[in-house]
């Protein structure tokens, strides 16, 4: 599992657990917007995100159409009945496909039986929900403490880091002036994650462009290394 938490993102599983889930999981292809799992589902299953992006949100009574505490899961993360693997949890949650996703499903009972015979797998599964909760809480602190620029800058770093890009190495490379950014989820979803209206996100992007910290070349977004470093160092106080 990831050695350090990344705010707003589910952890990536270890190579050993990755292999087990990929060998035993049943492949299911999901389209954008499809519900992947909801609290109270008849069959409790874990799902491994093979490709694409999934989202998980808390549902408040009376506000079922408004997602709260949105967490994203990228390739290599677990979703599904994570919260009830080793404990009871009555919080209502919904998980859905942000874009076209390929997930591998495995019944909860099968994975737990296998973990009973391998202490390292048991330890990782038992700690996965705690690690996910920690990512949630760090994201909440960043949202509360940061202004819109700091929140969006932190999200960009977190997304790059969790996507498997060598962002830490690139930030240390003083020979680089500009860093290429990946394609991000929709602005509305980013706003739900970091607690910003889309109009505020647009304003932050405009500010960065006006000050020369962000530019686009043939639909590819580039950000100044020193600017992203600024948000990286600010984020370290929470990690």
Query: How confident is the model over 112-126, as a mean pLDDT?
Result: 88
> Percentage of residues in the chain with pLDDT exceeding 90?
66
pLDDT band at 239 (very low <50, low <70, confident <90, very high): confident
pLDDT given at position 66: 73
pLDDT given at position 3: 64
pLDDT band at 1 (very low <50, low <70, confident <90, very high): low
pLDDT given at position 183: 93
Secondary-structure class of domain 15-142 per CATH: mainly beta
Query: How confident is the model over 229-233, as a mean pLDDT?
Result: 97
pLDDT given at position 141: 96
Domain boundaries, given as residue ranges, for the chain: 15-142, 146-235
Closest CA to 9 of 99, 71, 93: 71
Query: How confident is the model over 189-214, as a mean pLDDT?
Result: 97
CATH pick for 146-235 out of 1.20.1250.20, 1.10.10.10, 1.10.3470.10, 3.40.50.12500: 1.10.10.10
pLDDT band at 204 (very low <50, low <70, confident <90, very high): very high
Closest CA to 69 of 154, 135, 159: 135
Average pLDDT value over all residues in the chain: 91
Asked if 203 contacts 191 with a C-beta cutoff of 8 angstroms, the reply is: no
Residue 225 has pLDDT above 80, yes or no: yes
pLDDT in tens, 160-178: 999 999 999 999 999 999 9
pLDDT given at position 27: 95
Residue 64 has pLDDT above 70, yes or no: no
């Amino acid at each position: 599992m990831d050695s350090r938490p990344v705010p707003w993102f589910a952890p990536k599983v270890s190579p050993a657990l990755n292999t087990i889930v990929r060998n035993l999981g049943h492949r299911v292809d999901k389209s954008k917007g499809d519900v992947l799992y909801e609290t109270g589902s008849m069959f409790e299953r874990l799902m491994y995100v093979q490709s694409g992006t999934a989202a998980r949100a808390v549902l408040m009574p009376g506000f079922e159409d408004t997602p709260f505490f949105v967490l994203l899961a990228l390739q290599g993360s677990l979703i599904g009945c994570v919260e009830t693997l080793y404990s009871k949890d009555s919080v209502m949650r919904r998980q859905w496909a942000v874009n076209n996703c390929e997930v591998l499903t495995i019944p909860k009972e099968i994975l737990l039986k296998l973990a009973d015979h391998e202490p390292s797998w048991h330890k990782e599964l038992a700690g996965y929900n705690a690690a996910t909760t920690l990512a949630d809480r760090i994201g909440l602190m960043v949202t509360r403490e940061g202004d819109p620029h700091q929140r969006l800058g932190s999200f960009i770093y977190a997304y790059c880091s969790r996507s498997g890009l060598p962002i830490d190495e690139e930030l240390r490379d003083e020979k680089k002036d500009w860093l290429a950014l990946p394609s991000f989820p929709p602005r509305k979803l980013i706003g739900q994650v970091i607690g910003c209206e889309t109009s505020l996100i647009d304003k932050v992007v405009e500010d960065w462009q006006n000050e020369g910290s962000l530019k686009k070349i043939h639909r590819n977004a580039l950000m100044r290394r020193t600017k992203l470093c600024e948000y990286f160092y600010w984020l370290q106080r929470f990690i």
